[in-house]
Structure 1
Amino acid sequence: MTGKRIVNTRATHQNSRFTSLLRSQGAEVIEYPCIAIVPPEDDRPLREALANLAYFDWLLLTSANTVLALAESPPLPPARRGNAAIGPATARAAQAYLGLEAVLLPETFTAEALGEALQIQPGERVLIPASAIARTTLADVLRAQGAEVTVVEAYRTVPGTGGANVPVLLAQKQVDAVTFTSASTVENFMDRLSAEGGNRTDLASVCVACIGPQTAAMAEAHGLQVDVISTTHTLDGLIEALAEYFL
């Protein structure tokens, strides 16, 4: 990827690791935050659920942003059976910020895989703190297994601001790839591009790289041709897939 100009659309507070990984491969990183993470407008449901965490059999963590939101709360009592995370980055954040050592991980990092890995028993109680715009897939899978699932809003995902003038860079053919690490980065990128005078046709010659199938589906729904989908749905997996693409 040496010399390739790659857009990082992650939120400002979480873009540094991805930027470092890209630069370690020789890429020139163009930061263009397309999402920002803010607290819920009403955090009482979250606070009440966490205060009664011992009532639940499982605490499920679906993103590092969820972990950071929970880190703002008082120390958590243990869930009765344990804690689970959708991927290794979330698990590392859970250990670093919440002190949760025993975290179950699925073999593949999707909501469906996590639901299957838990092997929930009918009647078990599951707490899922999540984004206000999170997909319901995990809760649906667990409810189908007979679980009592409580979903509470842990944070809101809103449009990001700042960064480079990507619409102009695209028009000048100064971008080699745009990376997306969630469906919301796709949606807000397209909104920013339009609002800032950009043209989606300028993406025709640009590599569109997505961290996983749900993100890719959103990109395709916006009319983008997806060139890279990482097999392992992590930042490291996306870096590896990009490196292979640019060989």
Structure 2
Amino acid sequence: MKKGKVYLVGAGPGDPGLFTLKGKKVLEEADVVIYDYLANPRLLDFCKEEAEKIYVGKKAGAHTLPQEEINKLLVEKAKEGKIVVRLKGGDPFLFGRGGEEAEALVEENIPFEVVPGITSAIAVPAYAGIPVTHRDYTSTLAIITGHEAENKEESKIDFLALSKIGTLIFLMGVKNLPYIAKRLIEEGKNPNTPVAVIQWGTIPNQKTVTGTLENIAEKVKEKGITAPAIIIIGEVVKLREKFNWFESKPLFGKKIIITRTREQASKLAEKLEELGAICYEIPTIKVEPILNEKVFQMIEELSKYDWIVFTSENGVKTFLKTLWKKGKDLRALGGVKIAVIGKATKNVLENYGIFPDLIPEKDYTQEGLVSAFSKLDLKNKYILIARAKETREVLPEKLRELGAKVEVLPIYETKICEESKEKLKEILKEGVDLITFTSSSTVKNFFKLIEDAEKEQLKNIIFVSIGPITSSTLKEFGFEPHIEAEEYTIEGLVRAIENYFSKNEGGVIK
């Protein structure tokens, strides 16, 4: 039997961008992933589809599995000959009990490797604008577990020694903060020593409270800070006023619903998260290819067309997949010119090594594409439009008026994503700041997914539209878009949102 192997992998502090390249590599190869509460679930997107994913998260008062059972699970899966990734928040060997898991593997003669992760002890203060060392403040640093009961008879923490160290980082200590502050003051630490407590560090719902050893426990209680949080004690905390880069991002803490398809949502979420937003990917539509005899027949007759027109990214992807399904490759497009509706569609084509012959200069709509075609002689030219089943008929009608012989090939259809209904209901109840719409179909299906009673929750939400066609559909449902992109692309949408929150400059502000 093939011998398995275990990788003890640090998931980092929370921001998926801080995950290591080696961690990504082993996740992609894993047969089994055993992951923690503090491991960002988006890292699981790196796993292969068939990988078994097992949640063993532990948080205060709620342990999915005791540590001994987790150790046994690692051994058991490895003995089945599988590649196992143990995905742990932060670094596996820094208060992560990775050492105990390694011991269990050694005892059973299971091969393993450790993939270190960026620890929250360093990363979280950095995201709060606090360097843990600075030559003008301190050159000493201690990282301590704060997860120690106050009534413990004999503490393993030497508070006298710690009181003499410049920067102290307590992990998992927010519950014991009053005790930690009290003991440090008792051992001679100045009561006015600056302190910061940071909850959910490195992700957009990060929350930071500052104070002194004397008053920090009270301030944390007032602000409702709970685990997961880390405590930084020392003069370096003063630097936060100058270095607070992360929480100063233009969209920091804004909660945004993204209604694109699951496959397309990540690109928009990534750009908004770079600006500090908290994104909820709640697809209202899903794309299903149309595979019938008409589609296959027209694929066989591509050589008769002068032009093929793509009006969406999904049209390109579905068309090419259908082409390959018929055993053909890009040579089937030889001699055929290609037109696209906009930059996003152009970019997808170019990823496949195909460079379009025609694209509107700025107006990325059917009307804009008609305008681009109007400069050409289309008399008796055969044009195939590969598109969604249901969409506006502007393009084929206007091209026929220009003398072209147009055939429409519905290559896919967008359907409502019913599985998003409960999640959408839950998120709206919690409260969001913005909802983005990138097509008329995302608007229509959004309103199909919500109940009439839930429309009351939409009153104070900012509606964001990618362009006038989508805005028009929003108005049909009785909602005026607050933000409309000037350029009808994802980049244009993000730019309009950013401008809206920067004194309403740029974009079309409704």
TM-score by length of structure 1 reads 0.92
Q: CA deviation at 1:137?
A: 1.0
**Whole-angstrom distance in 1 between the partners of 2:357 and 2:404:** 19
Q: Does 1:190 align with 2:471?
A: no
Larger Rg, first or second structure (1 or 2): 2
- Please give the alpha-carbon distance, in whole angstroms, between the structure 2 residues aligned to 1:11 and 1:80: 33
What's the CA shift string for 1:158-210, capped at 9, x where partnerless? 011445723233234x200000000000000001112xx75112111100000
Q: Are 1:101 and 2:355 an aligned pair?
A: yes
Q: Report the 3-state secondary structure (helix = DSSP H, G, I; strand = E; otherwise coil) of the residue aligned with 1:129.
A: strand
1:241 corresponds to 2:496: yes
- 1:149 equivalent in structure 2: 406
> Which residue of the partner structure matches residue 217 of structure 1?
472
Deviations 1:98-119 (A, max 9, x none): x312432111211111112122
Kindly tell me: are residues 79 and 120 of structure 1, through their superposed partners in 2, closer, same or farther at Cα, counting changes over 3 Å?
A: farther
Task: Give the aligned partner of residue 158 of structure 1.
Answer: 415
Measured in 2, the distance between the counterparts of 1:162 and 1:19 equals 20
Count of aligned pairs between the two proteins: 242
1:44, distance to aligned residue in structure 2 (A): 2.1
Q: Does the alignment pair 1:202 with 2:460?
A: no
1:61-210 pair list within 5 angstroms: 61-72=310-321, 73=323, 74-76=328-330, 77-78=332-333, 80=335, 82-97=337-352, 99-107=353-361, 108-118=363-373, 119-163=376-420, 165-172=423-430, 174-194=431-451, 199-210=454-465
- 2:299 maps to 1:44: no
- C-alpha contact 2:340 2:356 (8 A) present in aligned 1: no
Alignment RMSD (CA, Å): 1.6
| TM-fit CA distance, 1:120 | 4.2
Note closer, same or farther for the CA distance 1:120–1:10 as it changes in structure 2 (3 Å cut).
farther
Identical counterparts, % of pairs: 30
Aligned equivalents of 1:237, 1:200: Cα separation in 2 = 27
Q: Cα deviation per residue 1:55-94 (whole Å; 9 max; x = unaligned)? A: 1110101111011111211224236451011111111111
Looking at structure 1, the residues matched to 462 and 429 of structure 2 have their Cα atoms a distance apart, in angstroms, of 15
1:232 aligns with 2:476: no
Deviations 1:188-241 (A, max 9, x none): 0001112xx751121111000000111010011001121011000000000000
The equivalent of 1:3 in structure 2 is 253
Q: Larger RCO: Structure 1 or Structure 2 (Cα < 8 Å, ≥ 6 residues apart)?
A: 1
Is the CA contact (8 Å cut-off) linking 1:179 and 1:209 kept in structure 2? yes
Name the counterpart of 2:279: 29
CA distance in 2, matches of 1:52, 1:183: 31
CA distance in 1, matches of 2:354, 2:439: 25
Letter in 1 for 2:258: N
- Counterparts of 1:86 and 1:120 in 2: how far apart (Å)? 19
- Aligned letter for 1:210? S
Counterparts of 1:120 and 1:158 in 2: how far apart (Å)?
37
Q: 2:281 is aligned with what amino acid?
A: E
Equivalents in 2 of 1:242, 1:46: separation in Å? 39
